[in-house]
Amino acid sequence: MAMALIPGSFADAQESSPAGTWLTEKGDARIKINSCGAGICGKVVGLRDPINPETGKPFTDDKNPNPALAKRPMIGLQLFNNMRPTGPGRWAGHIYNADDGRFYVSKVAMEGPARLRVEGCVGVICGGETWSKVGR
C-alpha cells in the first residue's frame, strides 16, 4: 500500500514545485526559479530586449536607489528575498521590483503545472500577474 502512494506523492510534489524557467505575463523577462534552502529563489535569466536602445549596453538595475546596485546587470538579478513555504504550492516573502528599485511583500502560488501567480503588496493594495512555464 505504501509503495502505491509514493508515485502519486512524487507527482504531487513536482506539480507544487515552481522549479524551472518562467515567462512573465508581459513576456518581457524569463525568471529561473529553484530551491534555496527551505524556500525558493528566482532570478532574471533573460530579457526580451536585453540591450538598452539609449545606451547600446545591457540593461542595468538603474532604478535602484543605491548607486552601487544601480550598475548591476538586470540579467542575473535576484527577485525573490526570503521566500518561504506557506502551504502546498505556496510561498511568501519579498519580491524586488526593478521598475522602482524596491522590495514588496509578496506571495507566490502554483495555479497548475504551467502557471504561477506572483503578487506584490504595499499595505492592503496588491497587484500581480500570472507567469507561464517555459519548457520543462
* pLDDT, tens digit (0-9, with 9 covering 90-100), for 80-118: 999 999 999 999 999 999 999 999 999 999 999 999 999
What is d(CA 80, CA 58) in angstroms, rounded to the nearest whole number? 22
Helix and strand tally (H, E) in the chain? 1, 8
Q: Which CATH architecture group holds 19-134?
A: Beta Barrel (2.40)
Domain boundaries, the chain: 19-134
Q: Write down the pTM of the prediction.
A: 0.84
Span of 9-13, 21-25, 48-52, 66-70 with lowest mean pLDDT: 9-13
